[in-house]
Amino acid sequence: MAIRITEPGLATTVQDTGRPGYYHVGIPQGGSMDQLSAELANALAGNTPAEAVLECTYIGPRFTTDTDAVIAVAGAPVDVLVNGTPREQWTRLKLVAGDEVSFGMIRAGTRYYIAVQGGIDVPMVLGSRSTYALGAMGGFEGRALKAGDALDVGTAGLERHASAADFIDESLRPSFAKEITVRVMPGLYDHRLTEEGLNTLFSATWKLTPVADRTGLRYAGPSVSWKPRVQPFGAGSDPSNIVDAGYAIGSIQIPGGKEPIVLHRDAVSGGGYAMVATVISSDMDLLARSAPGTQTTFTPVTMEEALAARDEGKTLRSRIWGSAGQ
Amino acid sequence: MTDIISPLPGIFYRKPGPDKEPYATVGDRIEAGQTVGVVEIMKQFSEVRSDVSGILETFAIEDSGAVNPGDVIATVTEG
């Protein structure tokens, strides 16, 4: 069984839960930017959370299936069309051989996910099917999809089909708001900002610029001030520079004190900018759903609050999978 | 009047490059499928085309202006 791509969309890639464990050698964890939406699509399609899905950014693909298939679309709101007829997101869609799927204009957010029962079957690379396009590895030939590509579909999870979720209740779906509050933990280099600079970071409203992709998201807003110092040997001359250090996914750097950048799932693993705070893992999906123009505030939380948020995520996932045994 | 809509967010440019001529200017005759500008997002430039033939009446977004999905970029009087 295969999915044949007739139009690729803007940047459609194969993604899964990611490739953790190699960041220290420069390979990011990657995976679906909005992990929850991808997982919900998998739940609807009768897969496990681990199956690879298609991540569609702003403009989705047009494709046909050469056999009967079960798919689901979850994530950013968009019209789903099967042979030109509108169908629903957040539910299981049955396709027959030859059906063509296409998408309307995205209405909010950034990305929606197409899960196919059985999962997109591309080779595992370092334990994951996720596309890391910058490194030309994983996914379908290490790149975003092109017209003419044919994607194999696996057989994983097919026996679970009967227990899959038929429909995702609205209370379980993420929201795609234009104003969000993102929780961060200060550090490791927050001591390099002045008190005023730190206050600005946590009190200002930051507007997401169009410079936002799988690598990171850049925000516009006021300048933040750094403490003066004689830059140590090995650090750049700007006060936002440090001696090179490892980055964390979710860490916030503010080159030159202007336009903070939050690193996301395909980020580089190290460099010479001070990381003043780090977005908690629970809120990385929220960032991933942010469209350009989203008004964002960064609010500091403690490690205990960050861990409590992670536990809430686990509770949500147990509600999603319920009797499916996840 | 037919609106030319941006299908994606980003920065709208009327020229293919800083030193190049605009794709189209107000008053031009536009053919269906003709490019009137590009939208940049995620380091990719997507051409914005007119679905209809006619006279380009207005640009609703200035050069280097921000657009969101569904925003009107320009209007064309069919004919």
Report pLDDT for A158: 59
- Domain range enclosing A258: 179-312
pLDDT at A161 over 90: no
Nearest CA in chain B to A178: B68
Same domain as A185, residue A163: no
pLDDT at A159 over 70: no
* pLDDT tens, chain B, 79 aa long: 999 999 999 999 999 999 999 999 999 999 999 999 999 999 899 999 999 999 999 999 999 999 999 999 999 999 8
A184 band by pLDDT with thresholds 50, 70 and 90 = very high
Is residue A31 within 8 Å of residue A126, measured between CB atoms? no
Same domain as A160, residue A198: no
Residue bearing tokens 């705070």: A277
| Cβ–Cβ below 8 Å for A105 and B7 | yes
- Domain end among A159, A175, A191: A175
Same domain as A302, residue A183: yes
Query: Of B8, B13, B64, B72, which to mutate for an interface test with A (greatest number of A Cβ within 10 Å)?
Result: B8
- Mean of pLDDT values over A46-69: 96
Is residue A142 within 8 Å of residue A132, measured between CB atoms? yes
Report pLDDT for A154: 93
Count Cβ neighbours within 10 Å for each residue of A154-178 and write b for 16 or more, e otherwise: bebbeeeeeebbeebeeebbbebee
A167 band by pLDDT with thresholds 50, 70 and 90 = confident
Is residue A299 included in any domain, yes or no? yes
Is residue A55 included in any domain, yes or no? yes
Whether B64 contacts chain A with CB within 8 A: no
Is residue A22 included in any domain, yes or no? yes
Total domains in chain A come to 2
Which CATH number belongs to the domain containing residue A298 in this structure?
2.40.100.10
Chain A nearest-CA distance from B69, in A, is 7
Is residue A319 included in any domain, yes or no? no
Write out chain A residues lying below 8 Å of B44, CB-based.
Answer: 10-11
Chain A nearest-CA distance from B5, in A, is 10
Chain B nearest-CA distance from A313, in A, is 29
Same domain as A50, residue A199: no
- Is beta strand A53-57 parallel, antiparallel or unpaired with respect to A13-15? antiparallel
Query: Of B13, B39, B41, which to mutate for an interface test with A (greatest number of A Cβ within 10 Å)?
Result: B41
Is residue A320 included in any domain, yes or no? no
Return the C-alpha torsion angle A139, A145, A146, A148, nearest 10. 70
- Domain end among A115, A150, A175: A175
Is residue A252 within 8 Å of residue A278, measured between CB atoms? yes
Is residue A321 included in any domain, yes or no? no
Q: How many interchain CB pairs under 8 A, A with B?
A: 44
Same domain as A274, residue A125: no
Report pLDDT for A160: 58
Pick from A58, A51, A60: which is nearest to A5 by CA? A60
pLDDT at A45 over 70: yes
Is residue A255 included in any domain, yes or no? yes
Cβ neighbours of residue A295 closer than 8 Å, sequence gap 6 or more: A178, A179, A180, A205, A206, A207
Cβ neighbours around B7 below 10 Å, total: 17
- Mean of pLDDT values over A192-209: 97
Same domain as A302, residue A203: yes
Same domain as A216, residue A169: no
Enter the CATH code of domain B2-78.
2.40.50.100
Same domain as A154, residue A68: yes
Give the amino acid at B62: E
Same domain as A171, residue A26: yes
Count Cβ neighbours within 10 Å for each residue of A115-146 and write b for 16 or more, e otherwise: bbbbbbbbeebeebbbbbbbeebbbbebbbbe
Same domain as A128, residue A38: yes
| Cβ–Cβ below 8 Å for A58 and B68 | no
Same domain as A185, residue A168: no
Q: Is the dihedral of CA A87, A91, A95, A99 positive or negative?
A: positive
- Mean of pLDDT values over A290-307: 98
Partner-chain residue, chosen from B9, B11, B66, that has the shortest CB–CB distance to A58: B9
Write out chain A residues lying below 8 Å of B3, CB-based.
Answer: none
Pick from A282, A314, A269, A212: which is nearest to A19 by CA? A269
This prediction's pTM: 0.94
pLDDT at A111 over 70: yes
Same domain as A97, residue A62: yes
Is residue A323 included in any domain, yes or no? no
Write out chain B residues lying below 8 Å of A58, CB-based.
Answer: 7-9, 41, 69
pLDDT at A162 over 90: no
Query: CA A326 → CA A53, A121, A281, A301, A318, distances in Å?
Result: 18, 21, 20, 29, 7
pLDDT at A115 over 90: yes
In terms of pLDDT, which residue wins out, A36 or A164?
A36
Phi, psi of A162 (to 5 degrees): -65, -30
The rounded percent of chain A whose pLDDT value lies above 90 is 91
Report pLDDT for A326: 43
Report pLDDT for A165: 74
- Is beta strand B2-5 parallel, antiparallel or unpaired with respect to A62-65? unpaired
| Cβ–Cβ below 8 Å for A58 and B41 | yes
- Domain end among A153, A175, A197: A175
DSSP string, B49-66: E-SS-EEEEEESS-TTEE
Chain B nearest-CA distance from A222, in A, is 19
| Cβ–Cβ below 8 Å for A292 and B40 | no
